[in-house]
Chain A
């Protein structure tokens, strides 16, 4: 009775790819509809936020390009180079983003295991997962690049054909980092276990940051040189960015195509479009037809905890030694360190040790933090190299406020990504953590304190260093450091509070917890707070010419009230909700 007889050869056949696409479309549509149904206010807020972001970034890019383009004789050259550099960096970010998303989507996903047990070829599974990863990894890129290209088009006064053309070129372009990211993810999964991956990521990140810090270090330019040998200076200033014009970089093809069209060199644009298309087709064909088996092998290796290191004797001996040491019942290094903090009760220390361990063992957590803040650190360290050219206090203050903005925006993405889901993740362990005499309020306060201390250590150091690099006087250094400390407390309080108010105890994956209602709300509020807070502080800056005292006082008061409302209120409401929490 059973068997393949039930499989009807005459059944109208839908490919596995089409079936999976259909199921996912249905799922995503329902998710979207449920968000709309849940709160119209939130939907309107998110849409307004997106529109506001697009407008703001367009305005910034437009003004920046107009400003740079207005340099006599050099404007066009500088704008052109700016486009090449931006696209090169976006390409690098897209590559990393594709690699991380492909890895989790291909190998850390329950659906993949489910699909592997069905009569679907690994190739079909890979093709679907590849498309899914590409879409998830690339949508943010489209958001980043759309206002930039719109601004470029208006500054260059291009005709309407420029806009549809860039859409086509971008679509051709995003395929390439997606392919490279997917193959890198397969390679990583096949040959590295979690620990090996952690060490390699850490090593590569440090190496990249050191290289960036060294590579981007500008040469010292004297006033005399600026007046008499402009071309030479310009050449020296731009030589470190020449990598963005390396002819084999896909970002070079995209940038060249876009710039050529704006200059009316249509044949050059078609040439670069064909280059993108041919590379996309070539690698796309190879990937879609040949990645199935390596993908299956890697998926099997991930489930088997296979690693390149299993054949390295010295590594095995080191791991054995480490395991032996850990198996001893004495306190670990972290516990011994925490025992120095004798004023903290032992139960609170236990939660502290647990949180730090969980954070360290989840590579994606600190990996992303390291990348974001590492790039910022590399930039800040390099500030000293051109601070000597910044004589005008206006520029020094503008850069300081921009540093504040960049640092807090980085922090906002991290608090939303890591602090917001903390309580939801703990929900699964409430049988032990929640039932302990410690109490949930205490657990939340420990998490909040730890998040604040760690993030304040990073943001405070970065802002302090940036002010020092800009050779600011002590009162201004203290001012900016105090502001970032205030913002750190607020952003952490907001994320922690909203995390408790909008928990998701069903989900294990923090990124999925964040993508829900509460996470989106947290991100939107954090960004609005940063934009609002920094605008208030900039308007009330005591270092502006002819600044009136009442403006300073009211600006600072508004900032303090805003911080208090957004930092304290959600946290307070969250803690109150804990009293009546039912799981």
Chain B
């Protein structure tokens, strides 16, 4: 469903993504972890087709995002950490707009919107202007709208930002459910607990490279650390001691 082949992205002299090879099969819930500036968001932006790779390719649902962008994006949903919403529209109008962009029949938009708004507890806000909604509610509107066209691939950056525990639970449940039904989820987060709880496999990106990949047990094995995922993560992303190097 998602295939990254020798993916490289350079920003001038800085190599943000350095030859990532990764394959996420259909229906897998894949979480990507990494320290700040590891290259997670850059990788996600390349998957969503927002930026061009310096080298390598991204295949989404069988389509190259650069050479067949429209085919790929029809099957893709992307929700950034701070999603864009039209401030003066209502959540209902925004969902209708999204449905029309994806050329979904109006009846289907209505029925899907109704289901999603119920699931995401958005009913009290449906006819309110988006500009007056809290960050958490906006985040739920964005996720619900992104799910409207039943994407085959769902890419989401920091989904839990601004969500209270109750709504975070709802989002987790829906994403897990959809993943079991066949939707591939590619999630980037700093919250290790989210990855630990949700992901079938976890990839750890550090300095633009995938330094470890696998299930939680496999990661623990690779890092040589037992116990919480945090220990494996810290071990795998540890900076080399500069004083030792110098000596």
Do the two chains belong together in a single complex? yes
Chain A residues within CB distance 8 Å of chain B: 1-11, 13-14, 16, 19, 23, 26-27, 30-31, 110-111, 113-114, 116-121, 297, 299-300, 303-307, 310, 316, 506
Check A7–B89 contact: CB distance below 8 A.
no
In this complex, how many residues of chain B approach chain A with their Cβ under 8 Å: the count is 46
CB distance from B45 to the nearest CB of A (A): 7
- In-complex Cβ contact of B84 among A2, A6, A114, A121 (8 A): A114
- In the bound assembly, the distance between CA atoms of A34 and B185 in angstroms comes to 40
A-B contact pairs, 7 of them (CB 8 A): A5-B150, A7-B103, A7-B149, A19-B97, A31-B88, A297-B52, A305-B12
Check A11–B106 contact: CB distance below 8 A.
yes
User: Which residues of B (69-114) have their CB < 8 Å from a CB of A?
Assistant: 69-70, 73-76, 78, 80, 83-84, 86-89, 93, 97, 100-106, 108
B9 CB contacts on chain A under 8 angstroms: 304
Check B97–A2 contact: CB distance below 8 A.
no
Check B105–A303 contact: CB distance below 8 A.
no
Check A2–B103 contact: CB distance below 8 A.
no
- In the bound assembly, the distance between CA atoms of A116 and B104 in angstroms comes to 19
B239 contacts the other chain (CB 8 A): no
Check A119–B73 contact: CB distance below 8 A.
yes
Q: Which 4 A-B pairs have the closest CB atoms?
A: A114-B84, A2-B150, A8-B105, A27-B88
Q: A117-B73, A119-B70 are in contact. Are A300 and B149 (CB under 8 A)?
A: no
B217 contacts the other chain (CB 8 A): no
Check A11–B182 contact: CB distance below 8 A.
no
- In the bound assembly, the distance between CA atoms of A553 and B129 in angstroms comes to 54
B58 contacts the other chain (CB 8 A): no
Q: A1-B182, A8-B103, A117-B48 are in contact. Are A305 and B11 (CB under 8 A)?
A: yes
- In-complex Cβ contact of A300 among B51, B88, B151, B178 (8 A): B51
Interface centre among A3, A113, A117, A120 (most CB of B within 10 A): A117
B45 CB contacts on chain A under 8 angstroms: 303
- In the bound assembly, the distance between CA atoms of A2 and B181 in angstroms comes to 8
B83 CB contacts on chain A under 8 angstroms: 114
A16 CB contacts on chain B under 8 angstroms: 101
Q: Who on chain A is nearest to B132 by CB?
A: A506
User: Which residues of B (188-223) have their CB < 8 Å from a CB of A?
Assistant: none
User: Which residues of B (143-177) have their CB < 8 Å from a CB of A?
Assistant: 149-152
B181 CB contacts on chain A under 8 angstroms: 1-2
A316 CB contacts on chain B under 8 angstroms: 12-13
- In the bound assembly, the distance between CA atoms of A31 and B88 in angstroms comes to 7
Check B88–A10 contact: CB distance below 8 A.
no
B131 CB contacts on chain A under 8 angstroms: 506
B20 contacts the other chain (CB 8 A): no
- In the bound assembly, the distance between CA atoms of A415 and B97 in angstroms comes to 38
Check A3–B89 contact: CB distance below 8 A.
no
Interface centre among A23, A306, A316 (most CB of B within 10 A): A23
CB distance from A153 to the nearest CB of B (A): 39
- In-complex Cβ contact of A11 among B70, B89, B104 (8 A): B104
B49 contacts the other chain (CB 8 A): yes
- In the bound assembly, the distance between CA atoms of A4 and B183 in angstroms comes to 12
B50 contacts the other chain (CB 8 A): yes
A9 CB contacts on chain B under 8 angstroms: 103
Check B97–A23 contact: CB distance below 8 A.
yes
- In the bound assembly, the distance between CA atoms of A6 and B93 in angstroms comes to 19
- In the bound assembly, the distance between CA atoms of A23 and B12 in angstroms comes to 37
Check B74–A7 contact: CB distance below 8 A.
yes
Check A119–B74 contact: CB distance below 8 A.
yes
B75 CB contacts on chain A under 8 angstroms: 3-4
Check A121–B88 contact: CB distance below 8 A.
no
Check B149–A310 contact: CB distance below 8 A.
no
